[in-house]
Amino acid sequence: MVSTLLSGCGIYSFKDAVIPDNVKTVKIGFIENKARYINPQLAPLLNDKLQQKIIGQTKLTRTNSDDAHYQIYATITNYDPSQTVGVSEKQASTNRLTVTVHVILKKTLDNKEQEFDVSRNFDFAASLSLSQAEAQLMEDIVRNITDDIFNQIFSNW
């Protein structure tokens, strides 16, 4: 019922995505990693997950054309594992990894460009090495950052 009402207004809703009905194509540029510390797995994993989510949860057709209706470009700008956020018995007990991605959304039909940052903190036990923490956190990092990017682009929050 809601989808029917929205489609009559020139907007369709598919799952959680709200997209004008004249928007049919999307180009998803490869995510660059320009953070000071680079995890070589992060950019390709984010890229794959974002593509899967957009194709799976919208009616948009993916293209590599520079005239795609939506063009999405992203850069990992921060990957900082150096914060201590918990202390127990005068020793670090919890460390925090902060991940920030800068996103550019070009809407070619409207000739508009939108930029925003998505940032999340991921806490881990200070007893873990960074590589151990990354192994435990990577799935959550990729899922949460992807969801935040998707919601910023396709949900009117």
Dump pLDDT digits (tens) for 24-83: 999 999 999 999 999 999 999 999 999 999 999 999 999 999 999 999 999 999 999 877
Single out the residue of 30, 26, 142, 121 nearest to residue 75, CA to CA.
30
Query: Which homologous superfamily is 24-154 in?
Result: Lipoprotein like domain (3.30.160.150)
What pLDDT score does 92 carry? 67
More confident residue, 18 or 87: 18
Place of tokens 């809601």: 2
Dump pLDDT digits (tens) for 78-121: 999 877 776 666 776 899 999 999 999 999 999 999 999 999 99
Q: Enter the tokens of residue 146.
A: 């992807």
Question: What residue segments make up the domains of the chain, in order of their start?
Answer: 24-154
Cα distances (Å, whole numbers) of residue 143 to 47, 56, 149, 152:
11, 14, 10, 14
Length of the chain counted residue by residue: 157
What pLDDT score does 81 carry? 87
Decide if 35 contacts 145 (C-beta within 8 A).
no
